[in-house]
Amino acid sequence: MTALRVITPGLQSSIQDLGRPGFASLGVAPSGAADHLSLRIANRLVGNPDHSATIECTLSGDTFRAEGAARVALAGADASPLIRRAGSTLAVPLFQPFTLLPGDELVLGPILSGCRLYLAIAGGVDTPPVLASRSAHLAAAFPNLTGRPLREGDSIPIGAPTPPPRSTPDPASLRRFIAAHSLRTTFRVLPGPDAALIPPEHAPAIFDSHLTVSARSSRVGVRLVGGPACTHPPRTSEPTPPGAVQRTPEGELILLGPERPVTGGYPLVASVIAADIPAIGQLRPGARARLAPITLDAARTLLIDQQQALDALLPPLPA
Amino acid sequence: MPAEGPSPPSIQPLGDSALRIAAPNPALVRHAILAAPPAGLLDLVCGHHTLAAIFSPGIDLARAAAAIAPALARQDLAPCHPPRTIDIPTLYGGPSGPDLLPLASSLGLSPQALIDLHASASYTVRFMGFAPGFAYLEGLPAQLRVQRLDSPRPRVPAGTVAIAGPYSGIYPADSPGGWRLLGRTNLTLFDPLAASPTLLQPGDRVRFIPTRVPTP
């Protein structure tokens, strides 16, 4: 068993897997990777099952020291990572597995476009699961690395590696898949239960308009600003499904993320379709985004096509 | 918004991976559905007037709705644990409750009268949500019904006692929040390593006990 040591933390890096559905009735959001497509690709490239825990970096990545040899892969937003090895530096690729030798420093550096980058290590991050997942829930009082971002000096234990995949695809094909599915900025939406609260004259400013991602965005939700303010009648707190879009009286649209409040009182004016939820996690402050209405049948087809396209490029490990 | 009353539960899609079930008592419908959970069900979350059945993405929602329809026809199941009464020692006002003074002033009450009103009521946990261990407490006196803030505060400290709309609540961890903050308790509302992770559960009775210093 090996470990990665955090030499310099990124802006907000945390342990993430596919999350902990099943506890929402205790008020516990599922958490998990903000972009599960990038997480799945990174895991599959090193021979991990999709649910293995990875390191999710936000806007800037960490510098890690390998305490033993490890096969790793990076997937997600664009970056220019490198390895410091015995006095020299080597550029390392995204979307392609490579090996860290004991003592290597992996420098992930700034994220250049998009918001999040995933580092998978063969064997997976092996911290103790809490409520059936290793995912950090940064907004809640969870213990140790399930409750906070990575810090300088943290030692991240890695499990026993499984065999590598027999072959991995051209990194350019995986990069194109992520560009099309995780880095898109048009979000297909279905009407929410409170869609009728949108005054008709506000609809053009909400749908098919370019809105700006606020710096007050997080794993709880990504805030889009630029829409008109609107006073809604008081509403009871009701459940918020994955991808739900809340509208605040100030006119902000909140695209709820993996640490969303599982119930909330702001009106739900729309829902981002499941196929486009990973792209919410890749919106960086200052980016422009647009909501485009779609039908339920089309949403389901898009999701199934997305799953099939990913599996055709890089099949999952048999469970 | 669904009306209160005996109308039968209605089911609608909520996004492409969930169903929204409107029902007079969401908790009873939840028990009925959990007695025979449909395939692909990940979470079943109650709100005030509705519950959400959240499924694995890609589910055929029409088929899922048909699978839970029989459970909606029967609501003969009762909540499964007897109610308890839990006392919440609360330090009102000051830095612990920054909205106490402005709220009292806008309601035409003295700060002490507002504290007395809030602490004299008996509350019941209607449902859990918003954050891990956060209980929506029914029973707030009608005079204290105020709207949530137009824009949530980015950070409300753990243990903060607050009100909004028809509810009172206690923030279990530091988090963003849009409720009006009255005071603070030192009790632990959520411990994910405990056998029962939440201090409060639906159906529990809750009382707020004013203190000078929050007691551990």
Question: Which of chain B's residues have a Cβ under 8 Å away from the Cβ of A295?
Answer: none
Q: Is the pLDDT of residue B214 over 60?
A: no
A225: number of Cβ within 10 Å: 15
Instruction: Give the model confidence (pLDDT) of B103-137 as tens digits.
Output: 999 999 999 999 999 999 999 988 998 889 999 99
Query: At B4, is the pLDDT very low, low, confident or very high (cuts 50, 70, 90)?
Result: very low
d(CA A211, CA A289): 5
Q: Looking at CA atoms only, how far is residue B44 from chain A in angstroms?
A: 6
Q: Are residues B65 and B104 in the same domain?
A: no
Position A181 in a domain: no
Q: Report percent pLDDT > 70 for chain A.
A: 99
Position B114 in a domain: yes
CB A120 within 8 A of CB A43: yes
Q: Are residues B45 and B116 in the same domain?
A: no
Mean residue pLDDT across chain A: 95
Nearest to B58 among A190, A235, A303 (CB): A303
B93: alpha, beta or left, given left = phi > 0 and alpha = psi -120 to 50?
Answer: left
Closest listed residue to residue B125, CA positions, set B134, B141, B136, B139 = B136
CATH code of the domain in which B133 resides: 2.40.100.10
Q: Is this complex scored with an ipTM above 0.85?
A: yes
What's the structural domain count of chain B?
2
Tell me whether residues B192 and A130 touch, CB distance under 8 A. Answer: yes
3-state helix, strand, coil in chain B (%, to 5): 20, 30, 45
Q: Are residues A158 and A193 in the same domain?
A: no
Residue A27 belongs to domain spanning: 3-167
Q: Are residues A15 and A134 in the same domain?
A: yes
Q: Are residues A108 and A222 in the same domain?
A: no
Position A319 in a domain: no
Q: Are residues B187 and B96 in the same domain?
A: yes
Say whether A171 sits in a helix, a strand or coil: helix
Q: Looking at CA atoms only, how far is residue B46 from chain A in angstroms?
A: 6
Tell me whether residues B14 and A271 touch, CB distance under 8 A. Answer: yes
Q: Are residues B169 and B130 in the same domain?
A: yes
Q: Are residues B113 and B161 in the same domain?
A: yes
Q: Looking at CA atoms only, how far is residue B25 from chain A in angstroms?
A: 13
Q: Are residues A201 and A275 in the same domain?
A: yes
Q: Please report the pLDDT score of residue B8 as a whole number.
A: 64
Closest listed residue to residue A108, CA positions, set A42, A168, A174 = A42
The 8-class DSSP code of residue B187 comes to -
Strands B85-92 and B50-55: unpaired
Q: Please report the pLDDT score of residue A257 as a whole number.
A: 97
Q: Are residues A107 and A33 in the same domain?
A: yes
Position A179 in a domain: no
Q: Are residues B105 and B152 in the same domain?
A: yes
Choose the final residue of a domain: A113, A140, A167: A167
Tell me whether residues A237 and B167 touch, CB distance under 8 A. Answer: yes
CATH code of the domain in which B27 resides: 3.30.1360.40
Reported as half-sphere exposure (CB side, CA atoms, 13 A), residue B152 has a value of 25
Q: Are residues A41 and A113 in the same domain?
A: yes
Instruction: Give the model confidence (pLDDT) of A14-64 as tens digits.
Output: 999 999 999 998 999 999 999 999 999 999 999 999 999 999 999 999 999
Residue B65 belongs to domain spanning: 10-73
More confident residue, A19 or B213: A19
Q: Are residues A17 and A158 in the same domain?
A: yes
Query: At A250, is the pLDDT very low, low, confident or very high (cuts 50, 70, 90)?
Result: confident
What's the structural domain count of chain A?
2
Q: Please report the pLDDT score of residue B5 as a whole number.
A: 43
Q: Is the pLDDT of residue B81 over 70?
A: no
Q: Are residues A26 and A158 in the same domain?
A: yes
Q: Are residues B62 and B112 in the same domain?
A: no
Mean of the pLDDT values across residues A214-236? 88
Q: Please report the pLDDT score of residue B76 as a whole number.
A: 62
Nearest to B130 among A137, A236, A264 (CB): A264
Position B111 in a domain: yes
Position B80 in a domain: no
Q: Are residues A60 and A104 in the same domain?
A: yes
Q: Are residues A262 and A162 in the same domain?
A: no
The dihedral formed by the CA atoms of A58, A62, A68 and A71, expressed in degrees to the nearest 10: 40
Q: Are residues B169 and B102 in the same domain?
A: yes
Instruction: Give the model confidence (pLDDT) of A94-127 as tens digits.
Output: 999 999 999 999 999 999 999 999 999 999 999 9
Q: Are residues B45 and B90 in the same domain?
A: no
Question: Which of chain B's residues have a Cβ under 8 Å away from the Cβ of A26?
Answer: 128, 132-133, 197-198
Q: Are residues B146 and B125 in the same domain?
A: yes
Q: Are residues A199 and A232 in the same domain?
A: yes
